[in-house]
Structure 1
Amino acid sequence: MILQEHAVQISTPTGLMRCEIFRPKEDGQFPCVIFYSEIFQITAPIQRTARILAGHGFCVVVPEVFHELNPIGTVLAYDEAGKDKGNADKFAKPLEQHDSDTAAMISYLSTQTYCNGSFGAMGVCIGGHLAYRAALNNRIKAAVCLYATDIHSDTLPCNHGNDSFTRTGDIKSSLLMIWGKQDPHVPTAGRQKIYQQLIDKNVDFEWHEVNGQHAFMRDEGDRYDPELALRCYRMAIDHFRNKL
């Protein structure tokens, strides 16, 4: 599908949040997928991934995940300074604020004529965690979580007992979990811990582990694996088409 793109500023309890929206140019109503970025916010690789998804018949909304902590429009570089700033933001923003961001996006999109009222979530790295977290919202029907960090380790700030691992049993949507076996950020023991929790809590999920490093989807840098990326795009698109 040919696409159209625009940016909006959505009001949240913690301030205005800039989002980029990618959707088919043709008239109609489409399922909406909230796509959560890495710590670097809306970089060129994130935009390209959003376009790939949108071109398959979805409205894809990409928020600035740390809008409270940066000027509107901030994009961090894939370098040491950008990584340090992004990690600092990750550990500064409570999960509860991400929850309210998700609710604000759903509320906004529900009023738009191009949204058919069906919602999914997808993310990479911390964005994979945020997609998992978004699945706690009962409006999210399906989530695709790629090498989701910090779920197993409970390292993101939140109220006691409100971490994503503990709340796994509250997830009612269908999850697609994709991991790189060579990812040092989520080692084997961490993946096994999440897998067992999903089993114990009777969550509807599909699980894939591939021979890939962290950020193997990102089409910049020496960890990019194009063949794996194409396989994962197809799995994600099929998952959303089936569930949304």
Structure 2
Amino acid sequence: MPTKTLRIPTPDGRADAFAAFPDDGERHPGVLMYADAFGIRPALREMARELAGHGYYVLVPNFFYRQGPAPVVELSEHIGEEARPALVAQLMPLIEAHTAERTVNDADAYLEFLTAQPEVGSGPVAVTGYCIGGLLAVRTAAAHPRQVAALAVFHGPVGADGPDALERITARVHFGHAETDLSTEALGELNAALDAAGVDYTSEIYPGTVHGFTMADTDTYNAAALRRHWDHLVPLLDRTLVND
């Protein structure tokens, strides 16, 4: 599986990024993958390679590039619960500084770069995100309704920008929520907003999960839920993206 370390030009500098894609010399649909707050690291590279193996060019940008190359905080090989509070405390100012305006400006650059790669086809793209990356994915899809045909978010604050953002989404959508992130009542409210916005979606709570369940290098990891994530994500992309 070919991989590349890249630098994406943006108005505020160059964002380091990781890409994985099939080794067949063909052009493939593009997928913009937003990491969780811990950023690009071996676990995320493995997820990108896994998705690329299904026939996609996967680009994972370091959205905290303004603070330096990934990882922007020191990470151990395994992120245990005892280390999480201190790491989150370090990252929270970066998250708060990453405004909606910054997200959209960066998304413009990321998508322009992604679709210009010689291994990427000319059709629509998908955006997927994890944790805070899920909010960035929603904002990207809302800002680029003609270009983003599929949107998938896992354990992310998808409704943080309110119903107006959902109304701008034209992509097919899957939201996979952690039990600890969303109550059944809140899920009902979110899904009602998606219905009102006319979004083509599935949105569900993954049983027995806590926030971060897809991340294999953390204590919150849930192997069954990660498989469920792939079982939703890959078919969504397969039925939505066309390789032109």
1:215 aligns with: 212
**Structure with more strand by fraction:** 1
CA contact 1:216–1:223 (8 Å) conserved in 2: yes
**How many pairs align?**
229
Query: How far, CA to CA, are the matches of 1:73 and 1:111 in structure 2?
Result: 23
Residue 110 of structure 1, aligned match among 87, 108, 115: 115
Aligned Cα root-mean-square deviation (Å):
1.6
Query: How far, CA to CA, are the matches of 2:71 and 2:62 in structure 1?
Result: 8
CA contact 1:42–1:75 (8 Å) conserved in 2: no
Residue 156 of structure 2, aligned match among 148, 151, 163: 148
Q: Runs of 5+ in structure 2 lacking a partner?
A: none
Q: 1:75 to 1:50 in 2, by over 3 A?
A: farther
The answer on 1:88 being equivalent to 2:93 is yes
Structure-to-structure mapping, 1:78-227, within 5 angstroms: 78=79, 79=83, 80-117=85-122, 118-136=124-142, 137=144, 138-149=146-157, 151-152=158-159, 154=160, 163=161, 165-181=163-179, 183=180, 185-211=181-207, 212-227=209-224
> For each residue in 1:52-86, what CA deviation from the matched residue of structure 2 results, as whole angstroms up to 9, or x when unmatched?
11111111000101112x11233432433322122
Query: How far, CA to CA, are the matches of 2:46 and 2:183 in structure 1?
Result: 28
Q: Runs of 5+ in structure 1 lacking a partner?
A: 155-162
Q: 1:49 to 1:75 in 2, by over 3 A?
A: farther
Per the normalisation by structure 2, the TM-score is: 0.88
Identity of counterpart residues, as a percentage? 22
1:159 aligns with: none
Tell me how far 1:171 sits from its aligned partner.
0.6
Tell me how far 1:164 sits from its aligned partner.
5.4
**Residue type matched to 1:22 in 2?**
A
Per the normalisation by structure 1, the TM-score is: 0.88
